[in-house]
Amino acid sequence: MDSFSATAARMPALRADIAAHPARHRILTGERPTGRLHLGHLLGTILERVRLQQEGVETFVVVADYQVITDRDSMGDIGANVHGVIRDNLAAGLDPERTTIFTHSAVPELNQLILPFLSLVSEAELHRNPTVKAEAAAAGRALSGLLLTYPVHQAADILFCKGTLVPVGKDNLPHVEVARQIARRFNERYGVVFPEPEGLITAAPELPGLDGRKMSKSYGNAISLGMTADETAAVIRRARTDSERQITYDPERRPGVSALLDTAAVCLGASPVEIAEEVGDGGSGALKSLAADAVNDFLAPHRERRAEIDSAMVSDVLRAGNERARQVAATTLDEVRSAMGMAY
């Protein structure tokens, strides 16, 4: 069984355990602040995060600023991107009283964990990581030391707060496995400090972009959370469909039409086939207006809350989150140094 099927098979038992004993768990999850968040992020990961918080599981969210430069030379518009990520997480319902939101760069004790952790993995293991390989190929440039080792840095993200649950997309599962291995090896070598974290695969299926490919800002097929209702209607109107009047759900043959059906369906809580029947022979024009209305109605409350969150509030949340993350990281680093005999 591959690690995805193994994790998927474990989900019902894990979800039951979370519901029964929320206080036994701690969630660590994160975002790479390379751009603005879109509808796919909201449905796929952020709302899931909010549900887990509601269940009473303590949650940490890392805005992974050092991960921005794993595959590029520039930090980009990092200040605006960090603020945007936090604003959308708060607008979606993350409560800063219960959830710690922080950035890598503000927590030196977390970053220091990468030193002992690097000693616990081999070069061959680093090179075998399928996600790193795919990202290196996509970056189309020499593999940087940071790209090669970032799964170990991500293990520090997870283990600094003794995270037990890591909600991730499929592509990040190999990194959870790295964190498990590092926890196990550290505990064997120096005595037990870390729990072995488990990946939590989101219950929501991945929403395709408007052209049927993966939703991504770089493909220009994304509905950003920061768009106005008019901008949203405009990108939906520009989406490429086909000229068949009868609307049917057929992702293979009709990727554009089917992506619009998927989008409307998740926003309306219906199935894409039901939506197709509703539009019937109304053609792409009718489908697009239905999809635009569905998305705009769904996002209206998010956008309203987003507009109420100003930059000063985001800065306050981040300052408090960074402070709390540093306390937690300093405690863990002390335990690590003691376990390694370095408490001089």
Residues of this chain that bind ligand TRP (CB under 6 A):
28-32, 62, 64, 67, 154, 157-158, 166, 168, 172
Q: Which CB sits closer to ligand TRP, 70 or 263?
A: 70
- We find the least distance from the C-beta atom of residue 307 to ligand TRP, in angstroms, to be 26
Nearest approach, Cβ of residue 43 and ligand TRP (Å): 15
Q: Answer whether 256's CB lies under 8 Å from 211's CB.
A: yes
Q: Residue with the closest Cβ to ligand TRP?
A: 30
CA distance 120 to 336: 14
In the complex, the smallest distance separating the C-beta of residue 324 from ligand TRP, rounded to whole angstroms, is: 17
Of 172 and 187, which has the nearer Cβ to ligand TRP?
Answer: 172
- Contact between 206 and 213 under an 8 Å Cβ cutoff? The reply is no
Distance in Å, CB of 157 to ligand TRP, minimum: 4
Residue pair 261/276 in contact (Cβ under 8 Å)? The answer is yes
SS3 labels along 76-106: CCHHHHHHHHHHHHHHCCCCCCCEEEEEHHH
| Structural tokens at position 155 | 């293990």
Considering the complex, what minimum distance in angstroms separates the CB of residue 138 from ligand TRP?
13
Shortest Cβ 31–ligand TRP spacing (Å): 6
Minimum separation from the CB atom of position 163 to ligand TRP (A): 8
What residues does 102 pair with on adjacent strands?
Answer: 62
Residue closer to ligand TRP by CB (options 151, 208) is 151
Nearer to ligand TRP, 94 or 158 (CB): 158
Any idea how long the chain is?
Answer: 344
Q: Which is nearer to ligand TRP, 88 or 256 (CB)?
A: 88
Q: Which is nearer to ligand TRP, 172 or 271 (CB)?
A: 172
Query: Which residue in 291, 311, 213, 208 sits closest to 247, CA to CA?
Result: 291
Nearest Cα residue to 293 out of 232, 219, 212 = 232
What value, to the nearest 5°, has the Cα angle with vertex 237 and ends 236 and 241? Answer: 85
What is the spatial distance between Cα 89 and Cα 300, in angstroms, rounded to a whole number? Answer: 15
- Closest to ligand TRP by CB, 74 vs 243, is 74
User: Helix, strand or coil for residue 224?
Assistant: strand
